[in-house]
């Protein structure tokens, strides 16, 4: 059981440890993190995060966000950004399909809120900067609050123009803000930001980074003083700020950040960014995971972020933006809350079941007298169950050991029908991507993919189809230990 850990495909993170190595988990649903358990958390905070898919790992199983791409202008230049590729603060590189006016944005939001029952949050995350393009952001948020009053509002920003808008954010009932903070040392900032535009003039070099840093810290302090939950996103740039993010974590923790979300730099030559053109390398999954492990403890560390687009719609694992382009929207804007309300009633029961099973499962693995760590990939279409029937677009990767069961990341796939026949080359690329994974749990799997996976050391099974993820992982871990190691899976 000592296969290599490399991943050749896009992945958020990857297995970091093997037998007896400690694995830490960043979500409050894990049993292993004393101070971050829900019962240690203020009830008001639980209310704020329980249906926000980004601020709670558990919520991302059930709830969806939508982004409204109303803010194209930006006041800084990041070396990882080329504007035609969207805002890397909160998205993977890719042009937002539509840059919307506030009126168009509200029409889109009303259509999505009527049709996507999981929708709980509307966010503005670019494609430029929401606080710099404030007129557009403000007009949109006010209209959304008026037309869809039961939705959460969320904003993402680079922080430079944040301080002057904090009180308006409070007035507009924006409950969640994300600031992208990549440095607290302006010298390091000079390697990330060539210039900023502030107070009517352009600043370069160390002055630019110093001003940006001061404004980011001020904005963070103002938000936390006013009770707005604030998440800090940081882009991990190897050789530039990777080690420095430990210091960033301390600063933002001291200033009340609720979560720290370290995302990997996405940089390709074709993006035309400074880093892309200069071949700045991106972090390997192992590096990213190791850094996240080092940050665990003080601030909750996010591991379920999908670096989504500025016009994303849907569950984090199932983007539905293409169903709601401007051309597809009804001419008359209407909002019907029926589907969302019905879903919430249904999901309450489901969540109680999932929470109870998760608690039981984490207790069970903690009682296992073993130092084995397994890495397990699961297919799910949401709801916290192994229930993906059709083509899996991503796998969630968990580790399980005596310390608990923890999500460590996700792995994007070219869709392949694991249940039956599919394209050979796609299957081969999935198998390569699964290197280092011990088990694959899916709803159904055909004999061909199962045998191919087995030959590469990945045991695939549909024996836990429709079970809750943690329940299935616990059962598999227990079976693994009772057998004394690997044997055939069915
Ligand atoms: Fe959007 Fe960001 Fe609000 Fe979420 S995204 S503005 S906090 S509603 Fe979420 Fe997307 Fe990751 Fe951002 S998965 S990129 S963390
Ligand atoms: Fe690009 Fe966002 Fe940076 Fe502005 S803040 S340069 S839009 S990544």
How does residue 19 score in pLDDT terms, banded at 50, 70 and 90?
Answer: very low
Residue whose pair of structure tokens reads 């557009």 in the numeric block:
136
CA dihedral 170, 173, 178, 183 (to 10 degrees): 0
Question: Measured in angstroms, how far is the CA atom of residue 42 from the centroid of ligand 1?
Answer: 22
**CB 209 within 8 Å of CB 88:** no
Instruction: Tell me what pLDDT residue 41 has.
Output: 67
How does residue 21 score in pLDDT terms, banded at 50, 70 and 90?
Answer: very low
CB of 77 closer than 6 A to ligand 2?
Answer: yes
Q: Which ligand has an atom closest to residue 193 CA?
A: 2
Closest CA to 266 of 124, 86, 395, 431: 86
Closest atom, ligand 2, to C-alpha of 80: 8
Mutation pick for ligand 2 pocket among 74, 235, 311 (CB with most ligand atoms within 8 Å) = 74
pLDDT at 2 over 60: no
pLDDT above 90 coverage of the chain, percent: 46
- Rounded Cα–Cα distance for residues 462 and 446 (Å): 10
Backbone angles phi and psi of 259, in degrees to 5:
-145, 155
CB of 69 closer than 6 A to ligand 2?
Answer: no
- Rounded Cα–Cα distance for residues 88 and 362 (Å): 35
Per-residue pLDDT averaged across 115-122, rounded? 96
Supply the mean pLDDT for the chain.
Answer: 83
Mutation pick for ligand 2 pocket among 80, 88, 127 (CB with most ligand atoms within 8 Å) = 88
Q: Which ligand has an atom closest to residue 75 CA?
A: 2
pTM of the shown model: 0.82
pLDDT at 432 over 60: yes
Per-residue pLDDT averaged across 24-44, rounded? 44
Q: Whose CA is nearest to atom 10 of ligand 1?
A: 308
| CA-based R_g, the chain, Å | 22
Instruction: Tell me what pLDDT residue 101 has.
Output: 94
| Furthest CA-CA distance within the chain | 69
CB of 437 closer than 6 A to ligand 2?
Answer: no
Helix axes 424-433, 447-455, angle to 10 degrees: 40
Question: Measured in angstroms, how far is the CA atom of residue 128 from the centroid of ligand 1?
Answer: 15
Per-residue pLDDT averaged across 33-58, rounded? 74
Instruction: Tell me what pLDDT residue 131 has.
Output: 97
Instruction: Tell me, rounded to whole angstroms, the distance of Cα 83 from its chain centroid.
Output: 22
Question: Measured in angstroms, how far is the CA atom of residue 128 from the centroid of ligand 2?
Answer: 6
Residue boundaries of the structural domains of the chain = 42-266+307-328, 338-483
Q: How far is CA 2 from CA 5, 116, 304, in A?
A: 9, 43, 26
Which long-range contacts link 313-316 to residues 24+ away (Cβ below 8 Å)?
313/64, 313/65, 313/66, 313/67, 313/112, 313/116, 314/64, 314/65, 314/66, 314/116, 314/118, 315/53, 315/60, 315/63, 315/64, 315/118, 315/382, 316/53, 316/54, 316/60, 316/64, 316/65
**CB 229 within 8 Å of CB 55:** yes
Backbone angles phi and psi of 206, in degrees to 5:
-65, -30
Residue whose pair of structure tokens reads 């995060």 in the numeric block:
49
Instruction: Tell me what pLDDT residue 193 has.
Output: 98
Instruction: Tell me what pLDDT residue 43 has.
Output: 84
Strand partners, 19: none
pLDDT at 490 over 50: no
Instruction: Tell me what pLDDT residue 417 has.
Output: 64
Q: Which ligand has an atom closest to residue 182 CA?
A: 2
Q: Whose CA is nearest to atom 9 of ligand 1?
A: 54
Q: Whose CA is nearest to atom 11 of ligand 1?
A: 305
- Rounded Cα–Cα distance for residues 441 and 460 (Å): 6
Mutation pick for ligand 1 pocket among 26, 56, 65 (CB with most ligand atoms within 8 Å) = 65
**H-only helix segments in 368-486:** 424-433, 447-455, 469-483
How does residue 86 score in pLDDT terms, banded at 50, 70 and 90?
Answer: low
pLDDT per position as a tens digit, 197-212:
999 999 999 999 999 9
**CB 118 within 8 Å of CB 63:** yes
Instruction: Tell me, rounded to whole angstroms, the distance of Cα 455 from its chain centroid.
Output: 32
Q: Which ligand has an atom closest to residue 259 CA?
A: 1
What's the CATH fold of domain 42-266+307-328?
Answer: TIM Barrel (3.20.20)
Could you tell me how many residues make up the chain?
A: 490
Q: Which ligand has an atom closest to residue 59 CA?
A: 1
How does residue 89 score in pLDDT terms, banded at 50, 70 and 90?
Answer: very low
Higher-confidence residue of 481 and 192: namely 192
How does residue 390 score in pLDDT terms, banded at 50, 70 and 90?
Answer: low
Show the CA angle centred on residue 381, arms to residues 380 and 382, nearest 5°.
90
Q: Whose CA is nearest to atom 5 of ligand 2?
A: 158
pLDDT at 8 over 50: no
The DSSP string of 43-57 is HHHHHHHTT-TTT-T
Closest CA to 306 of 269, 253, 257, 261: 261
pLDDT per position as a tens digit, 126-170:
889 999 999 999 999 999 999 999 999 999 999 999 999 999 999
Question: Measured in angstroms, how far is the CA atom of residue 316 from the centroid of ligand 1?
Answer: 9
**CB 182 within 8 Å of CB 235:** yes
461: three-class secondary structure by DSSP: strand
- Rounded Cα–Cα distance for residues 357 and 488 (Å): 26
Closest atom, ligand 2, to C-alpha of 157: 5
pLDDT per position as a tens digit, 420-430:
556 667 777 77
- Rounded Cα–Cα distance for residues 316 and 107 (Å): 22
How does residue 249 score in pLDDT terms, banded at 50, 70 and 90?
Answer: very high
Instruction: Tell me, rounded to whole angstroms, the distance of Cα 171 from its chain centroid.
Output: 27
Highest-confidence range of 32-41, 220-229, 338-347, by mean pLDDT? 220-229
- Rounded Cα–Cα distance for residues 317 and 18 (Å): 27
How does residue 436 score in pLDDT terms, banded at 50, 70 and 90?
Answer: confident
CB of 59 closer than 6 A to ligand 2?
Answer: no
**CB 53 within 8 Å of CB 60:** yes
CB of 112 closer than 6 A to ligand 2?
Answer: no
Q: Which ligand has an atom closest to residue 127 CA?
A: 2
Q: Whose CA is nearest to atom 4 of ligand 1?
A: 54
| Ligand 1 lining (C-beta closer than 6 Å) | 54, 65, 67, 90, 121, 123, 125, 154, 156, 176, 178, 231, 261, 305-308, 316
CATH class (in words) of the domain with range 338-483: alpha beta
């Amino acid at each position: 059981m000592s296969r290599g850990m490399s991943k050749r495909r896009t992945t958020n993170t990857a297995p970091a440890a093997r037998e007896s190595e400690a694995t830490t988990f960043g979500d409050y649903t894990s049993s292993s993190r004393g101070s971050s358990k829900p019962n240690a958390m203020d009830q008001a905070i639980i209310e704020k995060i329980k249906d926000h898919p980004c601020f709670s790992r558990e919520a991302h199983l059930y709830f969806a966000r939508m982004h409204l791409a109303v803010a194209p202008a930006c006041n800084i230049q990041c070396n990882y950004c080329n504007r035609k590729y969207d805002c890397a603060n909160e998205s993977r590189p890719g042009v937002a399909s539509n840059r919307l006016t506030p009126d168009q944005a509200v029409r889109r939001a009303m259509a999505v809120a009527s049709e996507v029952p999981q929708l709980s949050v509307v966010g503005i995350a670019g494609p430029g900067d929401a606080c710099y393009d404030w007129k557009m952001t403000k007009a949109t948020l006010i209209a959304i609050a008026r037309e869809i009053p039961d939705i959460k509002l969320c904003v993402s920003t680079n922080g430079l123009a944040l301080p002057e808008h904090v009180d308006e954010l409070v007035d507009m009932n924006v409950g969640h803000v994300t600031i992208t903070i990549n440095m607290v040392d302006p010298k390091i900032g000079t390697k990330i930001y060539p210039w900023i535009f502030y107070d009517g003039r352009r600043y370069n070099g160390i002055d630019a980074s110093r001003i940006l840093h001061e404004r980011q810290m001020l904005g963070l302090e103002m938000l936390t003083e006013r009770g707005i939950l604030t998440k800090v996103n940081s882009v991990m740039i190897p050789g530039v700020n990777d080690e420095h993010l430990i210091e960033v974590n301390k600063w933002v923790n001291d200033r009340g950040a609720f979560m720290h979300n370290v995302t990997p730099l996405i940089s390709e030559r074709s993006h035309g960014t400074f880093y892309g053109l200069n071949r700045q390398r991106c972090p390997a999954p192992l590096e990213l995971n190791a850094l996240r492990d080092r940050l665990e403890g003080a601030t909750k560390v996010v591991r379920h972020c999908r670096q989504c687009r500025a016009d994303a719609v849907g569950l984090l694992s199932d983007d539905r933006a293409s169903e709601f382009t401007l051309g597809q929207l009804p001419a008359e804007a209407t909002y019907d809350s029926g589907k969302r309300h019905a879903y919430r009633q249904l999901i309450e029961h489901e969540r109680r079941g999932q929470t109870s099973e998760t608690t039981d499962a984490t207790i069970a693995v903690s009682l296992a007298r073993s130092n084995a760590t397994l890495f397990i990939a699961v297919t799910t279409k949401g709801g916290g169950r192994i229930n993906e029937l059709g083509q899996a677009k991503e796998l969630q990767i968990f580790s399980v050991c005596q310390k608990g069961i923890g999500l460590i990341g996700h792995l994007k796939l070219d869709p392949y029908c694991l249940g039956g026949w599919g394209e050979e080359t796609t299957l081969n690329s999935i198998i390569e991507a699964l290197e280092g994974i011990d088990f694959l749990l899916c709803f159904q799997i055909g004999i061909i993919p199962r045998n191919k996976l087995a030959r590469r050391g990945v045991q695939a099974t549909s024996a836990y189809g429709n079970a809750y993820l943690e329940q299935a992982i616990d059962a598999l871990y227990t079976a693994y230990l009772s057998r004394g190691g690997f044997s055939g899976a069915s």
